[in-house]
């Protein structure tokens, strides 16, 4: 058998093992699995190990949270939604007000003839730095965060 | 008793989605109430933490509400929501600080039914089962995220292969392959107690 053929055979056996364990197997495949298990001791050993694991996982269930959690769930979602909208409005308002303040301050600052040039340059560089950092962080939050880096990697 | 995974509903999801798209928060609230348990348990299986599962499942509903305009009302609501839940959980799991915090604050997220029965009659056996549960949780948490996801959907949510395939948008064969790899890895981790 070619290597590819062997790999396909392995894959089929793995799927037979899974559907056999999970009870999602048609009758004809059950006979095929039975035959394979009888003829291959290593496969039988693996089957027994998977069966023991299945017995363990079958006894485990999710731990339930207290019922009160469900009573407050929607309220919690609603409050978070409302606060999210509040934060967006507050941020937008603050951005407009701060930008206006900076613009007015910068105009007065530039037109001040008594201010030394080096001081003007330093203040402008600081403002420009803050703007660049803000735009960079904003861009990262809005665009880069949406891209799931590993979404195309199949494991 | 209220079920954790409701199956049939009087008002169809698409009616509620259409109302929610029109800005009806009450209709969206009904969707939240209908799917909160499922979203929570999905997140619990992927994060292994009650706090994170609560936070991320709620965050998923918030994002779903904000993105409701992009949802096709003729398509089922939960698979769409589940995509948001899993993306949030995977992003959280990739954060190194989260991993470190989890190691420090690990709390059980599975309940051992056999262990609970043993606790009444045989305390020694109960301690053994508690250790087994702890090791199983750790082994599941160590699995790669896509294997862990399929395993959790199968073992703890009780979905069939077809349902998992539909939920994740992958072929049934891939579901079975991932499940096999996940179980083989778990069996290796638990080798001496199986």
Q: What pLDDT was estimated at residue A113?
A: 85
Q: What is the pLDDT of residue B100?
A: 66
B5 inside domain: no
Between A and B, how many residue pairs show a Cβ–Cβ distance under 8 A?
A: 112
Instruction: Verify that B87 and B150 share a domain, yes or no.
Output: no
Q: State the CB neighbour count (10 A cutoff) for residue A84.
A: 15
Tell me the pTM. 0.78
Q: What is the pLDDT of residue B183?
A: 96
- Is B127 a member of any domain? no
pLDDT at B104: 66
**Chain A residues inside the 8 Å CB shell of B134:** none
Query: Does A65 sit within 8 Å of B109, measured CB to CB?
Result: no
Expressed as residue numbers, the domain containing B170 is 142-193
Q: What is the CATH number of the domain that holds B146?
A: 1.10.10.10
Domain tally, chain B:
2
Name the minimum distance, in Å, from the CA of B64 to any CA of chain A. 11
Please report whether residue B163 resides in a domain.
yes
> Would you state the torsion angle of the CA atoms of residues A40, A46, A48, A52, taken in this order, to the nearest 10 degrees?
-170
Q: Would you kindly state where each structural domain of chain A is located, as residue ranges?
A: 3-58, 68-146
Asked whether residue B36 is domain-assigned, the answer is yes
pLDDT interval class at A13 (50, 70, 90): very high
Q: What is the pLDDT of residue A5?
A: 47
Winning range, highest mean pLDDT, from A21-30, A92-101, A142-151, B31-40: B31-40
From first to last of the 194 residues of chain B, give the pLDDT tens digit: 445 555 555 689 999 999 999 989 999 999 999 999 999 999 999 999 999 999 999 999 999 999 999 999 889 999 999 999 999 999 988 876 666 666 666 788 898 887 777 666 777 777 888 888 899 999 999 999 999 999 999 999 999 999 999 999 999 999 999 999 999 999 999 988 77
How far does A103 lie from chain B, in Å, by closest CA? 33
pLDDT of residue B96: 62
Residues of A in contact with B182 (CB under 8 A): none
pLDDT of residue B2: 46
pLDDT of residue A89: 93
The answer as to whether B88 is a domain residue is yes
- The whole-angstrom distance between A106's CA and the closest CA on chain B is 37
Is residue A128's pLDDT more than 80?
Answer: yes
Task: State whether B149 and B89 are in the same domain.
Answer: no
* pLDDT at position B107: 80
- Give the contacts of B39 (CB within 8 A, at least 6 positions apart): B57, B60, B61, B81, B82, B85
Tell me: the pLDDT tens digits for A129-147? 998 998 999 888 777 655 5
Q: In angstroms, what separates the C-alpha of A8 from chain B's closest C-alpha?
A: 12
Q: Is residue B107 part of a domain?
A: no
**Best residue in B24, B27, B36 to probe A by mutation, most A CBs within 10 Å?**
B36
Residue A65, pLDDT above cutoff 90 = yes
- B8 against A31, higher pLDDT: A31
3-state secondary structure of B191: helix
| CB contact at 8 A, A29 and A19 | yes
- Chain B residues whose CB is inside 8 A of the A17 CB are 180
The partner residues of A61 in beta bridges, in order of sequence, read B111
Assess contact for B47 and B56: CB atoms under 8 A.
Answer: yes
Query: Interface of chain A against chain B, CB under 8 Å?
Result: 11, 14-15, 17-19, 21-22, 24, 49-50, 52-54, 56-65, 69-70, 73-74, 76-78, 80-81, 84, 148, 154-155
Q: Does the residue B24 lie in any domain?
A: yes
pLDDT of res. A151? 47
Is the pLDDT at A44 greater than 70, yes or no? yes
pLDDT at A152 over 80: no
Of the pLDDT bands very low, low, confident and very high (cuts 50, 70, 90), residue A154 is: very low
Q: Which H/E stretch holds residue A75?
A: helix A68-111
């Amino acid at each position: 058998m070619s290597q590819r053929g062997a790999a396909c055979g392995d894959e089929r056996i793995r799927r037979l093992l899974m559907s056999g364990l999970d009870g999602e197997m048609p009758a004809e495949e059950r006979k095929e699995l039975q035959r394979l298990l009888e003829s291959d001791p290593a496969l039988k050993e693996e089957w027994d190990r998977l069966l023991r694991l299945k017995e363990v996982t079958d006894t485990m269930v999710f731990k339930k949270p207290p019922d009160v959690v469900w009573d407050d769930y929607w309220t919690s979602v609603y409050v978070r939604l409302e606060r999210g909208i509040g934060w967006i409005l507050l941020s937008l308002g603050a951005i407009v007000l701060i930008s206006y303040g900076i613009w007015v301050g910068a105009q007065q600052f530039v037109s001040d003839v008594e201010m030394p040039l080096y001081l003007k340059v330093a203040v402008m560089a600081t403002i420009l730095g803050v703007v660049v950092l803000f735009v960079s962080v904003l861009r990262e939050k809005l665009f880069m965060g949406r891209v799931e880096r590993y979404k195309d990697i199949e494991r | 008793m209220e079920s954790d995974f409701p199956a049939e509903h009087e008002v169809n999801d698409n009616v509620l989605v259409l109302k929610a798209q029109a800005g009806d928060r009450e209709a969206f609230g009904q969707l939240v109430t209908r799917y909160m348990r499922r979203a929570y348990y999905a997140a619990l299986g992927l994060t292994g933490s009650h706090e994170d599962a609560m936070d991320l499942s709620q965050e998923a509903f918030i994002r779903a509400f904000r993105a409701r305009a992009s949802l096709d009302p003729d398509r089922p609501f939960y698979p769409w929501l589940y995509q948001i839940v899993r993306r949030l959980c995977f992003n959280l799991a990739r954060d190194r600080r989260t991993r470190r915090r989890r190691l420090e604050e690990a709390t059980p997220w599975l309940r051992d039914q056999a262990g609970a029965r043993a606790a009444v009659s045989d305390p020694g056996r109960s301690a053994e089962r508690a250790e087994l549960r702890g090791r199983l949780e750790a082994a599941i948490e160590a699995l790669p995220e896509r294997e862990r996801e399929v395993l959790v959907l199968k073992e703890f949510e009780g979905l069939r292969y077809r349902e998992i395939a539909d939920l994740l948008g992958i072929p049934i064969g891939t579901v079975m392959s991932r499940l096999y790899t996940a179980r083989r890895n778990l069996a290796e981790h638990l080798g001496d107690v199986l």
